[in-house]
Chain A
Amino acid sequence: MALNDLEAPSHRSAFGALAAVLLGVAIFWAFGLQQALSADEPPSGSSFDPALVSKGAQLAAIGNCAACHTAPHGKPFAGGRALRTPFGTIYGTNITPDPDTGIGQWSQADFLRAMHDGVDRRGRHLYPAFPYDHFTRVTDEDVDAIYAFLMTRDLVRAETPRNELAFPLNIRATVGIWKLLYFRRGVFQPAPSENAQWNRGAYLAEGLAHCAACHTPRNFLGAEKKRLDFTGGESAGWHAPALNAASSAPSPWTADRLFAYLRQGMDDVHDAAAGPMAQVVHNLSQVPEEDVRAIALYVASLGGGQTPQRRASVSGVDTQAVERGAAIYAGACASCHDMGRQVLGGALELSLSTSVAMPAPGNLIRIIREGFVPADGEKGPWMPGFAGALTDRQLTDLVIYLRAHVGEKPAWDGVAGEVEKAARNKSRE
């Protein structure tokens, strides 16, 4: 993978890279388009084997397809969800079998090529917001099952909004260059030293479930930094915590704990599933247990077992803020968080919280402001939000207190600024 070493070490080279991209656009224009596929007629919905369709439904849930391909309050898989990226806004496409606005005219081979090569039916490159860098490892049989599932969904006529990307990224040929730098077509290679369950988990987690898409940091061109695999990334403004030994979670994950978390969104010694992870949990609560156990086994194995609790000495803390924060905790938080999870309504003891122990305060601030609210009609962890109840100053004090005295970690920089930012972002929604 020598080409991966082209990854720029810092943002300073962004200008140079941009120039290279512009030059590359011209050079690779010819390579940027691939042939449209054969004029295979797509099969009619009724011709699919029901067993294949139901296998596809479970795989689509593991792949979390609906998250990007369904708009808020929209029809399932009809597209239109806005994905905000550093490069602009990309809209999840309509993948219902509508012939004009969906994938109704796509043959099985077209769909397989999209999943494995990131190319649409007309031969245009797909943006890597569609994680074909992971889906390329999904077997043909599994892709065919997902195809059968999607082609038997309710047909929805819904034009996907145009992407709002800056030049030159609005030209799809640029994706050809990106692929040359970062995309490796390939099949999943099982590790012979591991058992079948572990390999099943690795296959799902690295491929269809595309865990690393959020849990790995990305470089300035939006590609996963492979050398930092699973060290924590970002999704929808949330920090997706590290899944490997870099994790700041006070308690290491075991396969059993992670299995329970992936099914229910909660665990006795970790934060509840927040942000985009809530939908992942909702999906995984509905797929075969053995697949979730396999994913849990594999991901827990990344953590390197019993990591030592990292308790750095506390210094440079604003003691007055801590005092004020302690009073707020006593009134607003303690009634649930000090009674233990075993009790009905009892909440996590916050010394065990991953968010309190994270490198930055963003997640903790968002959780306190917004709480946990399951999506309409879905079950999930629940906590009231305190955005209106606490002023920015009070929230800042509370976060400083939690970090210093509950998490016993060195103070975060710029908590007040992060709190203001969260308030601004919320009011803009």
Chain B
Amino acid sequence: MITLNVNGQPRQVDADPATPLLYVLRDHLELNGAKFGCGVGQCGACTVMVDGEAIFSCITPVSVLRDRQIKTIEGLGTIDNPGPLQRAFIEEQAAQCGYCIAGMIMRAQALLEKNPSASEAEIRETLSPNLCRCGTHMRILRAVGRAARAMQNTSTGNTKGSDP
């Protein structure tokens, strides 16, 4: 058994240590936000956060995640109370098929937690590992920019969405 800290809660998982985090999230913990896209860390659909950094969960074995903080899109907010990025993606209608969006949001979240005043150039550069085949890139960029402004306007207390 491996204990993982996911969205602020300890979760016991019975999985081979070499199992990619993505499979554990989806198959064991029923956290289906992160998606399987390419399986080799090339598309970004599986992006989640570990210790504040965006990582590809499809190529990260759970063995390296003991005592580390994993955050998935489910940890950013709920349908009734979405986090700033989730809210901005809804307001900008930034999803078409939506398959890439959880990964986009998690990579943007990692950026904005470190630098809420990131420039558009920095946002573009940071999101470049994440692919969107529908082509909603311009809306995605607008949504991240909107969330960044919202986060800056919020008092310093609640810039990280609604963590449990």
Chain A: residues with CB nearer than 8 A to chain B? 73, 327-328, 330-332, 334-336, 345, 373, 376, 382, 384, 386-391, 394
Segment with Cβ contacts to A, from B47-55, B81-89, B143-151: B47-55
Whether A384 contacts B41 by the Cβ 8 Å rule is yes
Residue of A334, A382, A387 near B42 (CB, 8 A) is A382
Which 5 pairs across A and B sit closest by C-beta, in order of nearness?
A: A331-B61, A388-B53, A384-B41, A331-B18, A389-B55
B78 interface residue per 8 A CB criterion:
no
B135 interface residue per 8 A CB criterion:
no
A115 to chain B, nearest CB (A): 35
**A residues near B60, Cβ cutoff 8 Å:** 331-332, 386, 389
Considering residues A327, A335, A373, which has the most beta carbons from chain B within 10 angstroms of its beta carbon?
A335
Residue of A73, A328, A376, A388 near B54 (CB, 8 A) is A388
Whether B17 contacts A331 by the Cβ 8 Å rule is yes
- 19 CB < 8 A contacts A-B: A73-B121, A327-B17, A331-B19, A331-B20, A331-B63, A332-B59, A332-B60, A332-B64, A336-B40, A382-B42, A384-B42, A384-B129, A386-B59, A388-B50, A389-B56, A389-B60, A391-B64, A391-B68, A394-B64
Whether B53 contacts A387 by the Cβ 8 Å rule is yes
Q: Give Cα distance in the complex from A386 to B40, angstroms.
A: 12
Measured CB to CB, the nearest residue on chain A to B121 is A73
Whether B61 contacts A384 by the Cβ 8 Å rule is no
Whether A330 contacts B18 by the Cβ 8 Å rule is yes
B40 to chain A, nearest CB (A): 5
Whether A335 contacts B19 by the Cβ 8 Å rule is no
**B residues near A376, Cβ cutoff 8 Å:** 128
**A residues near B18, Cβ cutoff 8 Å:** 327, 330-331, 334
A156 to chain B, nearest CB (A): 19
Q: How many chain-B residues does the 8 Å CB contact rule pick out?
A: 24
Q: Give Cα distance in the complex from A335 to B40, angstroms.
A: 8
B70 to chain A, nearest CB (A): 11
B163 to chain A, nearest CB (A): 19
Measured CB to CB, the nearest residue on chain A to B68 is A391
Q: Give Cα distance in the complex from A391 to B67, angstroms.
A: 11
Whether B20 contacts A384 by the Cβ 8 Å rule is no
Whether A330 contacts B61 by the Cβ 8 Å rule is yes
Q: Give Cα distance in the complex from A336 to B40, angstroms.
A: 8
Whether A335 contacts B59 by the Cβ 8 Å rule is yes
Q: Give Cα distance in the complex from A345 to B55, angstroms.
A: 19
**B residues near A334, Cβ cutoff 8 Å:** 18
Q: B84-112 CB contact bits vs A (8 Å, 1 = yes)?
A: 00000000000000000000000000000
**A residues near B42, Cβ cutoff 8 Å:** 382, 384
**A residues near B19, Cβ cutoff 8 Å:** 331
B19 to chain A, nearest CB (A): 7
Q: Give Cα distance in the complex from A391 to B54, angstroms.
A: 13
Known: A327-B18, A332-B59. A384 touches B40 (CB 8 A): yes
Residue of B63, B121, B129 near A328 (CB, 8 A) is B63
**B residues near A384, Cβ cutoff 8 Å:** 40-42, 56, 59, 129
**B residues near A331, Cβ cutoff 8 Å:** 17-20, 60-64
Name 13 extra pairs, CB < 8 A, besides A327-B61, A331-B20. A73-B121, A330-B18, A331-B61, A331-B63, A332-B64, A334-B18, A335-B59, A376-B128, A384-B59, A386-B60, A388-B55, A389-B53, A389-B55
**A residues near B20, Cβ cutoff 8 Å:** 331
Residue of A327, A345, A389 near B40 (CB, 8 A) is A345
